[in-house]
Amino acid sequence: MTVTKMSWRPSYRSSKFRNVYGKVANREHSYDGIPITKNVHDNHFCAVNTKFVAVVTESAGGGSFIIIPVSQSGRLDTHYPKVCGHQGNVLDIKWNPFFENIIASCSEDTSVRVWEIPEGGLRRNMTEAVLELYGHSRRVGLIEWHPTSSGILFSAGYDYKILIWNLEIGEPVKMIDCHTDVVLSMSFNTDGSLMATSCKDKMLRVIEPRSGRVLQQANCKNHRVNRVVFLGNMKRLLTTGVSRWNTRQIALWDQEDLSMPMVEEDIDGLSGLLFPFYDADTHMLYIAGKGDGNIRYFEITTEKPFIQYLMEFRSPAPQKGLGVMPKHGLDVAACEVFRFYKLVTLKGLIEPVSMIVPRRSDTYQEDIYPMTAGTEPALSASEWLSGIDRDPVLISLKDGYHRPNQLVFKAPVKEKKSVVVNGIDLLENVPPRTENELLRMFFRQQDELRRLKEELTTKDVRIRQLELELNNLKNVSPNKPDL
C-alpha cells in the first residue's frame, strides 16, 4: 500500500462543515479560580457530562478533583469541596456514559475508585468511594468506560497490564497482558467489540478485549504513535504521533491491515502531544495540541484524500487538557456540533469553546444532527462478558434530549478480605509511602488512642456502678423475712 502525503494547499470541496467556527464563552459562562493540577502526566485532567464538570486539582498530600455543576459558572470559592479519597495523585477521571452521577478515577496509589456524586454537586469533601478497585501493582494512568455496556470499566497501569472490571461484582474479570511497555491510550469501536491501543513500545494494536487476542498490530518506526481513536463504523483508525524528523503527524489506518498507514499528514514542528477527538455523527476530526492555543479540524471521507482540512480555531491561551460535552448536552438551536472545555492552567480557568455550523434558519437542522448515542445502555456487564455485542441505543436531538435516566447504579456489597500475618492484617495496615502519609497515619492513631481511652474510662465507671449495685443486692437479701 502506498502512503499518501497530504498537502496543506487548500483544495475546494463542497462540505456543509467547511465554515464551522469556534466560539469562546464569555467570562461569566467560564469557570474561574480553579487550582488546576500541575501534573505533567499526558491526560486531559477534565471530564464533562450534561450535569457536571470534573477537574483534577493541585493538592498537598494525596490526590483530589472537584465537581462543578455545569450551570454554576463564574468564580469558584476557595474552600470549594473536593473528592479527596486517593492516597496519591489522580491521573485520570471519566464519567460513566449511562449514569451521570457516577465518575471513575485512577491514581498513583495503584487504585481505581468509583464515586457517586449527589444531585446538585458536593456540599462537603467526599472521601468514601462507592467502589475501591485494587488489581494493579503499579500506578494506574488511564481508565475508559465501555461504550455500550453499563458496568464494564477498563484500566491501564504502569505494570503494562489492562484490567477489565465488572462493576456488578466489583472484581476484575479479565487481564490483557500483551503490552511490553506503558499503554498510552485506548479507544473502542462503536459497539465495543474491538479495542485499539497505542503503547510506549511503539506498537499500535487492535485487540478483541474479551479474549485479549491481538488481531492486528503495527510496529510504528516512522510514525511513533502517541494517541489512537476509532473512526466510528468506518473501519478506520486515526493516530497522532511524531515522524522520524520529529514533526507532529496524524495518520489514517485500515483497522484490518496495519502494515502501512493509508495517509500520513505532517502538522507542524512543535513538541506538544496531539489529542484527537472524533465526532462520528458529523465525521469531523478535531486535533488539539497540549500547550497549544489552537484546535484544527478536518472532515473524514471514505474516498481520497480521506482527510480534508477544514479550518483552525486559534486562541492565545495554551490548553493543558480538554473535556468534551456529550452530544445530547449541546445547544441544537445554535447549531452547536461540538463543545470543548479548555483547561488554562496559568489563569486557573476552564473555558468552554463551542464549534458552530453557521446557518440562517432557526429550525432544527436534521442534516447535522443525525440519530446519536444516548444515555441508555445497550446491554449489561454480564451480557457483554457472555459474548453479546450490540450497537448503542440511538436518540434524536430534535426536541432537546432531557429524558431522565431511570437506571440506578447499585454497587456490590463486598466482603472484607484480609491477609493476616503474625496477627497483623497486611491489607488493613499498608505501610506509609511518604512523609505526609506517615503524618496522617500518626494523627489517625492518636485520635484512635484518645477515643479508646475515653471508652475505657467510661467502662470503668460503669463497672464500679454495677459492683455497687451487686453489693447492695447482697446486703438486702439476708435481711428478707422467710415466707
The alpha carbon of residue 376 and the mean position of all alpha carbons in its chain are separated, in whole angstroms, by 19
- All 3 cell numbers of residue 303? 474516498
Per-residue pLDDT of the chain (483 residues; tens, 9 = 90+): 545 554 444 444 567 888 889 999 998 999 999 999 988 888 899 999 999 999 999 887 778 999 999 999 999 988 899 999 898 899 999 999 999 999 999 999 899 999 999 998 899 999 999 999 998 989 999 999 999 998 999 999 999 999 999 999 888 999 999 999 999 999 999 999 999 999 998 899 999 999 999 999 988 777 889 999 999 888 999 999 998 888 999 999 998 988 888 988 888 888 888 999 999 999 999 999 998 889 999 999 988 889 999 889 999 889 999 999 999 999 888 889 999 999 998 888 999 999 999 888 777 888 888 889 988 999 999 999 999 999 999 988 887 655 555 566 666 655 544 444 445 444 445 556 566 667 777 777 887 888 888 888 888 888 988 888 888 888 776 655 554
Residue 398: the pLDDT is 81
Residue 427: the pLDDT is 45
Q: Are 228 and 204 in contact (CB under 8 A)?
A: yes
Alpha-carbon distance of 342 to 25, in angstroms, equals: 11
Greatest CA separation found in the chain? Answer: 118
- All 3 cell numbers of residue 434? 511518604
- All 3 cell numbers of residue 264? 500520513
Is the torsion defined by CA of 432, 56, 160, 146 positive or negative? Answer: positive
Q: Are 390 and 379 in contact (CB under 8 A)?
A: yes
Please, which residues have CB within 8 angstroms of residue 371's CB and are 6 or more apart in sequence?
394, 395, 396
Residue 198: the pLDDT is 93
Question: Edge-to-edge, what's the strand order for the sheet holding 4-5?
Answer: 4-5, 263-268, 248-254, 236-243, 223-230
Task: For residue 420, give Cα distances in angstroms to 135, 235, 424.
Answer: 19, 51, 5
| Residue whose C-alpha cell is 501534573 | 39
Residue 8: the pLDDT is 46
Which residue pairs from 101-104 have beta carbons closer than 8 angstroms and sit at least 24 positions apart in sequence?
101/51, 101/409, 102/130, 102/409, 103/47, 103/52, 103/54, 103/67, 104/143, 104/145, 104/153
The number of CA neighbours under 13 Å toward the Cβ of 62 is 14
Residue 479: the pLDDT is 57
pTM equals 0.80
- All 3 cell numbers of residue 180? 511490553
According to DSSP, the residues that pair with 48 across neighbouring strands are 53
Task: Please report, to the nearest 10 degrees, the dihedral formed by the alpha carbons of residues 120, 129, 184, 298 taken in order.
Answer: -10
| Residue whose C-alpha cell is 450551570 | 71
Q: What are phi and psi of 322, to 5 degrees?
A: -140, 130
Q: Are 218 and 253 in contact (CB under 8 A)?
A: yes
Residue 221: the pLDDT is 76
Q: Are 375 and 97 in contact (CB under 8 A)?
A: yes
User: Which ranges in 241-396 belong to alpha helices (H)?
Assistant: 381-385
Residues 5-28: b if buried by 16+ CB within 10 A, e if exposed: ebeeeeeeeeeebeebebebbeee
Alpha-carbon distance of 334 to 325, in angstroms, equals: 15
Please, which residues have CB within 8 angstroms of residue 128's CB and are 6 or more apart in sequence?
85
3-state secondary structure 408-460: CCCCCCCCCCCCEECCEECCCCCCCCCHHHHHHHHHHHHHHHHHHHHHHHHHH
Residues 343-372: b if buried by 16+ CB within 10 A, e if exposed: bbbeebbbbbbbbbbeeeeeeebeebbeeb
Q: Which of 222, 203, 198, 233 is nearest to 3 (CA)?
A: 222
